Amino acid sequence: MSKKVTLLIPVYNEEKVLPELYLRLQELIGRNNGYEWEILFINDGSSDHTLEQLRRMRKDDPRVNYVNLSRNFGKEVAMLAGFDYCTGDCCVVMDADLQDPPELIDCMLEYWEQGYDDIYARRRTRGEESWLRRHLSLTFYELLQRMSKIDILPNVGDFRLLDRRCILTLRRMRERERYTKGLFSWIGYNKKGIEFDRGNRRAGRSSWSFFKLLNLAIEGITSSSTSPLRIATVSGILFATVSFLYAIYFLTKTILYGDQAAGFPTLIITILFLGGIQLLSLGVIGEYIGRIFKETKQRPAYIASDYNEEKLGYDNT
């Protein structure tokens, strides 16, 4: 029996690019017809005609499967839905906008046949994006790298081929606030990087706003590392020590030379500074408490409302 490859594609308002994507995937499948193929779309609550298009595609081509989520849950969660519904022996996660060239998948399949479990694509160039976004992104990875013990590579996206055993492992990691890139690194297995030039979006707009990316960045740090808490502790110890020494100094000075009322600037600066540090530390602690709060509710990470023609109830997810 031939092996089955699943193409896992989260889509959110991608009606403009779907026809071209489908053509390119046809070419890919044509080149590799030794495999059985599944094209699994996760419709992440699109508000345009994406869902109708998926239905039409499914009608003409039984290799197309789609999961329709009940609202927009974000790409990270959409990918989890994809892992749950994927039926292949391996799975290629890719974006709908053709920024991830399907031609690279031929190469990924070769490495998969050689026994690698996780073949990821590293961008040699990043496609069109603003100077600010590129630099913020690189700074973020640098920071993340230092804070967490696992390797999260810069310029590596979600575009990768995962063996079935990686998928099975990822299915079991059901945190609701997800940073999937961190999970890919965390699970380990046999990894192989290949390089490519990232193109520009074919149509439509990137749906990541600055704040969405900032959120993802905080998510990335707090979900894969507790070092912000450690930093708060260490700076706490540091400031407490300094304050203690300072207190001794003042006490001695007062005993020896009497009480002078001067020193208002020192006082106010100290209060403001320590107040700032305290608020910051509280914020850091709050981030983690927030995560605990969300996880203890034990809600499902997403709600799937349809799988192909079938309507799903809560129990199916």
Could you list the residues that contact ligand UDP (CB under 6 A)?
10-12, 14, 44, 72, 74-75, 78, 95-97, 99, 206-208
Residues that bind Mg ion (CB under 5 A): 95, 97, 99
CB 106 → Mg ion: shortest distance, Å?
21
For Mg ion, the closer of residues 95 and 163 by Cβ is 95
Q: Which does 72 bind (CB under 5 to 8 A by kind): Mg ion, ligand UDP, none?
A: ligand UDP
In the block, tokens 């100077």 appear at 131
Around Cβ 76, how many Cβ atoms within 10 Å?
A: 21
3-state SS string for 266-307: HHHHHHHHHHHHHHHHHHHHHHHHHHHHHHHCCCCCCCEEEE
CB 285 → ligand UDP: shortest distance, Å?
29
For ligand UDP, the closer of residues 208 and 244 by Cβ is 208
For ligand UDP, the closer of residues 3 and 24 by Cβ is 24
Q: Which does 86 bind (CB under 5 to 8 A by kind): ligand UDP, Mg ion, none?
A: none
The DSSP bridge partners found for residue 38 are: 6
For Mg ion, the closer of residues 157 and 220 by Cβ is 157
Q: Which does 11 bind (CB under 5 to 8 A by kind): ligand UDP, Mg ion, none?
A: ligand UDP
Q: Which does 44 bind (CB under 5 to 8 A by kind): Mg ion, ligand UDP, none?
A: ligand UDP
CB 261 → ligand UDP: shortest distance, Å?
59
Strands of the 90-93 sheet, one edge to the other: 191-197, 118-125, 156-163, 90-93, 4-11, 36-43, 64-69, 304-307, 310-311
Buried b (16+ CB within 10 A) or exposed e, 29-39: beeeeeebbbb
Contact by Cβ (8 Å): 158, 76: no
CB 181 → ligand UDP: shortest distance, Å?
11
CB 158 → ligand UDP: shortest distance, Å?
8
For ligand UDP, the closer of residues 26 and 207 by Cβ is 207
- Who's near 230: CB < 8 A, 6+ residues apart? none
Nearest Cα to Cα of residue 167 among 110, 225, 114, 88: 88
CB 95 → ligand UDP: shortest distance, Å?
4
In the block, tokens 């905080």 appear at 218
For ligand UDP, the closer of residues 103 and 128 by Cβ is 128
Q: Which does 76 bind (CB under 5 to 8 A by kind): ligand UDP, Mg ion, none?
A: none
How far apart, in whole angstroms, are the C-alpha atoms of residue 189 and residue 15?
Answer: 36
